[in-house]
């Protein structure tokens, strides 16, 4: 048998960070995380399930439709993810996969989250699995990639992972759930691009080193109150409550990274300049708050009406290579485009 599906899935930006894991191979976190699903930063993936293939094939698609072999590190991880999906579903088909991003990969912009979410949803649809219409099961399938953030990208709006009540110790069933849909609260996300190439230390290595930091345990103590503050801020659409938590969480993620063994320095001089400019914007009466994942690039959360001013201000900061303008989004969707067409 064969089946084919093309899906685009979005990146997300974490409000309460996932950094460090009890079991990295199975993406078992120490605590829940909360994120906002984005709309325009996406991975587009076509998956074909075939019973006549001897092994999986993973391709990178360029904008002009040209296919080339995917980087070895990504291809190997994609095949492991497909092995996990086969094992969970009891299926034996092999896959042909082609994928591309609308934004820089491996630069601290959650391309793993979007990429493996797209792969999980497209594979489920290509196989005709019941899971293809079950957000909780799709979240688990995405998480089987080893990317905890991918489990959040299969849902739109504001997402918490693991779901309340889910076991975070040794559970294989720790899906994400939607705190609120995108329509609940329109927020913009302006990204100052400072580095577009792969970062020196991957997020997987960062997760692995995080518990070696002397600040890691202290952060764990503070996370429950931050989770509750963020849940409340989302429920009440209160950016002035949400913003300070965003900034604290981002700074502490990087404080843990910088004090891990060996230390990880993701920030660049322009990172500090952008953070300073965001504080200046607030002093000028513009509601804007910064956050960062594992990388030098800075996300700024603001109301939609402030987005043009924020984008212009960040673009003028020395060292900023470009600006991405994004917003809260609705999650994965099936696409008409076929990246494998003609291959």
Picking from 137, 165, 184, the residue at the C-terminal end of a domain is 184
Q: How far apart are CA 176 and CA 13, in angstroms?
A: 14
User: Based on the domain organization, do 222 and 312 belong to the same domain?
Assistant: yes
User: Based on the domain organization, do 105 and 218 belong to the same domain?
Assistant: no
pTM of the model: 0.95
The count of structural domains within the chain is 2
Both tokens of 21, joined, read: 């894991």
Q: How far apart are CA 294 and CA 288, in angstroms?
A: 20
User: Based on the domain organization, do 113 and 253 belong to the same domain?
Assistant: no
Look at residue 170 in the predicted model and tell me its pLDDT. 57
User: Based on the domain organization, do 210 and 171 belong to the same domain?
Assistant: no
Look at residue 342 in the predicted model and tell me its pLDDT. 63
Picking from 166, 184, 202, the residue at the C-terminal end of a domain is 184
Residue with more model confidence, 25 or 276: 276
**Host H or E run for residue 49:** strand 33-50
| Contact predicate 144/85, CB 8 Å | yes
User: Based on the domain organization, do 78 and 204 belong to the same domain?
Assistant: no
User: Based on the domain organization, do 109 and 214 belong to the same domain?
Assistant: no
Look at residue 64 in the predicted model and tell me its pLDDT. 83
User: Based on the domain organization, do 222 and 250 belong to the same domain?
Assistant: yes
With cut-offs at 50, 70 and 90, classify the pLDDT of residue 223: very high
CATH of residue 72: 3.30.230.10
Q: How far apart are CA 1 and CA 94, in angstroms?
A: 10
- Over residues 275-286, the pLDDT tens digits come to 999 999 999 999
User: Based on the domain organization, do 139 and 13 belong to the same domain?
Assistant: yes
Residue 186: CB partners within 8 Å, gap ≥ 6? 303, 304, 327, 328
Question: What's the average model confidence in pLDDT over 20-45?
Answer: 93
Look at residue 25 in the predicted model and tell me its pLDDT. 83
* Mean pLDDT computed over every residue of the chain: 94
Residue 338 inside a domain? The answer is no
What share of the chain in percent tops pLDDT 70?
A: 96
- Over residues 57-101, the pLDDT tens digits come to 999 999 888 999 998 989 999 999 999 999 999 999 999 999 999
Lowest mean pLDDT of 83-97, 112-126, 195-209, 297-311, name the range.
195-209
Residue with more model confidence, 65 or 231: 231
Question: What's the average model confidence in pLDDT over 199-208?
Answer: 92
Picking from 184, 215, 243, the residue at the C-terminal end of a domain is 184
User: Based on the domain organization, do 157 and 257 belong to the same domain?
Assistant: no
- Over residues 177-191, the pLDDT tens digits come to 999 999 999 999 999
Residue 178 inside a domain? The answer is yes
Q: Which domain holds residue 267?
A: 188-327
Look at residue 341 in the predicted model and tell me its pLDDT. 84
């Amino acid at each position: 048998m064969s089946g084919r599906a093309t899906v685009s899935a979005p990146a997300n930006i974490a409000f309460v960070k996932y950094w460090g894991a009890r079991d990295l191979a199975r993406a078992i976190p120490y605590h829940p995380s909360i994120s906002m699903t984005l709309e325009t930063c996406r991975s587009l993936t076509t998956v074909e399930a075939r019973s006549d293939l001897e092994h999986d094939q993973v391709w990178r698609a360029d904008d002009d439709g040209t296919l080339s072999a995917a980087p070895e590190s990504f291809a190997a991880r994609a095949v492991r993810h497909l092995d996990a999906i086969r094992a969970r579903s009891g299926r034996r088909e092999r896959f042909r996969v082609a994928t591309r991003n609308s934004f820089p990969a491996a630069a601290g912009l959650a391309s793993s989250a979007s990429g493996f979410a797209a792969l999980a949803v497209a594979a489920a649809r290509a196989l005709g699995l019941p899971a293809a219409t079950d957000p909780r099961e799709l979240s688990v399938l995405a998480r089987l990639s080893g990317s905890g953030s991918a489990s959040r990208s299969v849902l739109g709006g504001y997402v918490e992972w693991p779901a309340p009540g889910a076991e975070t110790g040794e559970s294989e069933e720790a899906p994400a759930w939607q705190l609120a849909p995108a329509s609940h609260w329109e927020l913009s996300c302006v990204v100052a691009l400072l580095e577009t190439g792969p970062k020196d230390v991957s997020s997987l290595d960062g997760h692995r080193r995080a518990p070696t930091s002397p600040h890691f345990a202290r952060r764990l103590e503070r996370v429950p109150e931050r989770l509750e503050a963020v849940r409340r801020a989302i429920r009440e659409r209160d950016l002035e409550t949400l913003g300070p938590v965003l900034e604290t969480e981002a700074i502490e993620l990087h404080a843990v990274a910088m004090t891990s063994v060996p230390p990880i320095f993701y920030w660049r001089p322009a990172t500090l300049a952008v953070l300073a400019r965001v504080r200046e914007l607030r002093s000028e009466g513009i509601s804007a708050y910064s956050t960062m994942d594992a990388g030098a690039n800075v996300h700024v959360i603001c109301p939609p009406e402030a987005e043009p001013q924020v984008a212009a201000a960040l673009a003028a900061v020395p060292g900023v290579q470009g600006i991405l303008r994004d917003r809260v989004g609705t999650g994965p969707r099936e696409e008409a485009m076929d990246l494998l067409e003609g291959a």
